[in-house]
Structure 1
Amino acid sequence: MTSSTDRTETPLDAAPGAAAPRLRVGIRIPPCRPVGELVEVVQQAEALGYDQVWLPDSQLLWRDVYAVAAAAAAGTRRIGVGTAVTNVVTRHPAVVASAARTVAEVAPGRFTLGLGVGNSSVQPVGLRPSTGAEMRERVGVIRALLDGEEVDFLGVRSRLRDPAPVPLHMAASGPKNLRLAGEIADGVILLSGVAPDNLAASSARVQEGAAAAGKAGRVSMTVSAFCRVTDDVPAAARELKPICAGIAQNGGGPFLALAGVHVDVPQHVPGVYPDLVHAEDWELAVRACDRYVSDEAVTAFARQFCLYGTPEEIAARLAAVAQVGATAVFLQHVGSYTLPDELLSTFAREVSPRLSAAPAR
C-alpha cells in the first residue's frame, strides 16, 4: 500500500463545485493486520475523503480495538474513528469507559463509542450476548462515568478521573433493541440493511425510543450495509451466502422472508470456524451454504438489503436511505481477515462523485 501522499484516487469530496454529500460515509476496517498496516489504511480513507472508519471488536479474531483506534487516531487529523462494535460482557463497563476516554483524548471530537450485545466477542469464550436489560444498565454506567458522575459498583461508589464526553452509539436490528437504542444512545447503527420497508420500520422504532426519552429528532442513525460496485449482481452476490445464512441463524429468517428472501439454515453448519459471518475459509463457508441459500435468494438479498450494483444504482439506493432520516452509511466488504482495499478506492472513485452531485436535502 502506498503512502497517503502518493495516492491518486478521487477523494470523496473532490467533485468540483458539487454540493456536499447527503450522508456521512464510513467504512469498516477489521483489525486483521499489524497495527502499522491498519493505520496506513485509515490514512488512505482520510485521504480519500471518508468521514469515518469503524473498527470491530472481537478479541480472538483481531487486534485489540482500542489500541488500534488510538493508533489510527494519532496517525490522522480529520477522520472520525469508532468502534463497531465493542461489548459490555468481556469488557467491564468501567474498563470500556476508561478506554473510550483515552482514545477520545487522542482525537478530541473524533471518537465514537459503538456498543452492541457481543456475538463474536462473547460466544467463542463461552459467554452469552447481553440482554436488553443488561445493555440498558451497563450503557448507563458508561455514560455516567464519562460524564464524571459517581457510580455504585456492588456497594462501592467510584468515579472516573479525568472524564471526557464521548458519543455513545448502539448497534441494533430487532424492534426491542432498536427502540432501546433510540432511548439510551446518542446514535444508532442500524443492522437491518437498506431494504426500504425494513429501514423505514427500523427508523420508526428508533424514533419511538428517542421520543420516549425526550430527545425526538436528536438521535443520529447510521445504516450498515455490505457494498460492492458491480454490473453483475447475481455473480457477485454468491459471496454473501454466509452473511444471509448467518442472519437467518440469529433469528432473522422471518425478517428476510418479508422481503422475499427465503432461507432455512440449521443452527450449526459443520466445518465452518468460528461462525458463518466470520469464517476463516470464506469459500468453504460459501460452499457449505449452497444447500441452504439458493442463488436466487442471495441475489434478492444483495439487491434488497445490500449496496450491490452499478455506481448509479448504489447512489440511488443511498439517496433513498437519506430520505428515511439516516445521517450516515457504514460500508462493509465481505471478509473478516482482509482489508477493504478494493471497496475503499472503488466507492471513492465511482460512487461518491454521484453522491456529491446530488442536491442536499
Structure 2
Amino acid sequence: MSVSFEIGILPNRPVSECLSLSGQAEEYGYGGVWIADSQCVMRDAYILLSQIALQTSRIRVGSGVTNAITRHPAVLANSWATLHEVSNGRAILGIGVGESAVHTLGFKPDRLAALENKITLLRALMKGQEVEYQGCRFHLAWCDVTVPIVMACSGPKSLQLGGRVADGVLFQVGADPALVRYALDNIRQGAEQAGRRFEEIKLYMRVATAVSPHRDMARDQIKGYASVAAGTVFKTVPREYFSDDLWSQLEEFKAKYDYFEHGSNRAKHQALLTDTIIDTVCIAGSPEETIPRFKAIADMGVDAFVWPANMEDAGHFIQTFADRVMPAFAAEGQAITKQVKR
C-alpha cells in the first residue's frame, strides 16, 4: 500500500491564501488538505472547507481537527453530511477532545468517554437515525451518508480509543521512531480490545515538517507549528519516553505557552524551542536529511503524513516538498508495505 503526503492548513492567514495553498496541494499531487478549527484564533474552518471542496476535484478535505464542545453533535453531523455532498464523497471528519478552540473560551476538553459517545452519535445522525443526547431525542431529516471519522490522538488512552472506535487515527507524538512505535502499539491495543483488525484502521501521522535546500531557513520556519506540536507531545505522551533534559526543556516551554498565539510564527514562546525539541517533534532540514526520516517511519506502517504548511511562504515549502521529497517515494513505486501490521 502506498504512503500519502497531505497538507494541514491553519487558517490564521487570509482565506484567499488558504484556498490558493489548497489548490497548489491538489496540483502537486498531495492526497488531502486538513483545516484547523479554532474560532478565537483563526478564520472559520467550515466556510473554508466548503470553499476548498467546491474548488478542488480530487484531493480529500478534512478537519484537522474539530471538536464536539464548541459545536453541538447535531451541528457537526449536519455540516459533515453537507460537506460529503459538496465534495462528492471526499470529506473526512477529523475530531479530537479540543485544545485551543476550547481553552480560549474557558472550557475544558472533552473526556474520552464523552468523545466516544459523540462519535457514536455522529455516525448515527449522518445515517438519519434518531439519537438521544442530553435528554433530547432528535435526528437529521434529510441525510443518509457515511463519512470517515478520524480521531486525533496523542495520549495512551486516546490512542487506544481511536483504535477501538475510529475509522482512522491522526496521531501527533513527534518524529522520533520510538514515539511513533508507542503510538502504533497503543492503537493496536485498542483495536484488539474491540476485536478489530489493526490493518483496517487508517494511520495518519501529523508531524511538523519543513524541507528546504536551505537547512537553517527550514528549521526557522518550522517554529510556529513546532510550538503546537511540542505542547501536545509534552501534555500527552507519558513521562518515561523523555530524557530528563528534554522533559525540562519542554516543561519550561509549555509554562510560557500562549494559546492566543497558537500556531503563530511570531509567537514569543517559540524562542524557547531548542534544537533538541525541534528534532524530537519535527522533521525539518534539507531533502537529504529528511527523506530517510520519512522512509523509516513509513516502513513502520504509517499510511499518510499530514504536515501543517504554516510557514510564511507556505506555497514555496509545499512545492519544494513535492519536488524534492515525494519523488523519492514514487521512484520506489510507493512500495511502502505494512510489514509491522501483519
Distance 2:128 2:304 in 1: 29
Aligned residues of 2:26 and 2:59 also touching (Cα < 8 A): yes
Structure 2 residue 180 is matched with structure 1 residue 199? yes
Distance 2:74 2:240 in 1: 35
Residue 175 of structure 1 aligns with an amino acid whose one-letter code is P
Residue in structure 2 matched with residue 174 of structure 1 by the alignment: 155
Correspondent of 1:225 among 197, 207, 216: 207
Correspondent of 1:346 among 315, 320, 324: 320
In structure 2, runs of 5+ residues without a counterpart are 338-342
Aligned residues of 1:81 and 1:111 also touching (Cα < 8 A): yes
Deviates more, 1:154-163 or 1:87-96: 154-163
Equivalence map 1:86-125=2 (5 Å): 86-125=66-105
Deviates more, 1:145-154 or 1:47-56: 145-154
Distance 2:278 2:323 in 1: 21
Deviations 1:50-106 (A, max 9, x none): 110110000112221111111100001101110010001100111110001111101
Distance apart, 1:188 and its partner CA: 0.2
Residue in structure 1 matched with residue 166 of structure 2 by the alignment: 185
Distance 1:247 1:103 in 2: 28
Distance 2:213 2:23 in 1: 29
Distance apart, 1:138 and its partner CA: 1.1
Deviates more, 1:177-186 or 1:304-313: 304-313
Correspondent of 2:270 among 269, 273, 286: 286
By percentage of residues, which structure has more helix? 2
| Aligned-pair Cα RMSD in Å | 2.6
Residue in structure 2 matched with residue 15 of structure 1 by the alignment: none
Aligned residues of 2:263 and 2:310 also touching (Cα < 8 A): no
Q: Secondary structure at the match of 1:82?
A: strand
Distance apart, 1:246 and its partner CA: 2.5
In structure 1, runs of 5+ residues without a counterpart are 1-20
Q: Secondary structure at the match of 2:161?
A: helix
Structure 2 residue 216 is matched with structure 1 residue 242? no
Distance apart, 1:348 and its partner CA: 0.8
- TM-aligned CA distance change 1:334 to 1:133, over 3 Å: same
Correspondent of 1:305 among 259, 276, 281: 281
Aligned residues of 2:150 and 2:169 also touching (Cα < 8 A): yes
Aligned residues of 1:22 and 1:319 also touching (Cα < 8 A): no
Correspondent of 2:260 among 257, 265, 274: 274
Residue 100 of structure 1 aligns with an amino acid whose one-letter code is W
| Residue-pair matches, total | 328
Distance 2:253 2:317 in 1: 31
- TM-aligned CA distance change 1:120 to 1:154, over 3 Å: closer
Residue 292 of structure 2 aligns with an amino acid whose one-letter code is A
- TM-aligned CA distance change 1:273 to 1:319, over 3 Å: closer
Q: Secondary structure at the match of 1:325?
A: coil
TM-score by length of 1: 0.83
Deviations 1:257-307 (A, max 9, x none): 25973423175428x4615x434733x3333x2xxx5xxxx3233334321
- TM-aligned CA distance change 1:67 to 1:213, over 3 Å: same
Residue in structure 1 matched with residue 146 of structure 2 by the alignment: 165
Equivalence map 1:26-37=2 (5 Å): 26-37=6-17
Residue 260 of structure 2 aligns with an amino acid whose one-letter code is P
Residue 256 of structure 2 aligns with an amino acid whose one-letter code is V
Residue in structure 2 matched with residue 317 of structure 1 by the alignment: 293
Percent identity of paired positions between Structure 1 and Structure 2: 31
Structure 2 residue 252 is matched with structure 1 residue 265? yes
Deviates more, 1:28-37 or 1:347-356: 28-37
Aligned residues of 1:42 and 1:72 also touching (Cα < 8 A): yes
Distance apart, 1:236 and its partner CA: 4.8
Aligned residues of 1:30 and 1:339 also touching (Cα < 8 A): no
Deviations 1:201-260 (A, max 9, x none): 211111121222222121111011111114675775455373465346635582662597
Aligned residues of 1:29 and 1:339 also touching (Cα < 8 A): no
Aligned residues of 2:154 and 2:237 also touching (Cα < 8 A): no
Distance 2:254 2:294 in 1: 33
Distance 1:225 1:341 in 2: 18
Distance 1:266 1:318 in 2: 26
Residue in structure 2 matched with residue 12 of structure 1 by the alignment: none
Equivalence map 1:325-340=2 (5 Å): 325-334=301-310, 338=312, 340=314
Residue 254 of structure 1 aligns with an amino acid whose one-letter code is R
Aligned residues of 1:312 and 1:354 also touching (Cα < 8 A): no
Residue 189 of structure 1 aligns with an amino acid whose one-letter code is L
Residue in structure 2 matched with residue 69 of structure 1 by the alignment: 49
- TM-aligned CA distance change 1:53 to 1:248, over 3 Å: closer
Distance 2:176 2:186 in 1: 15
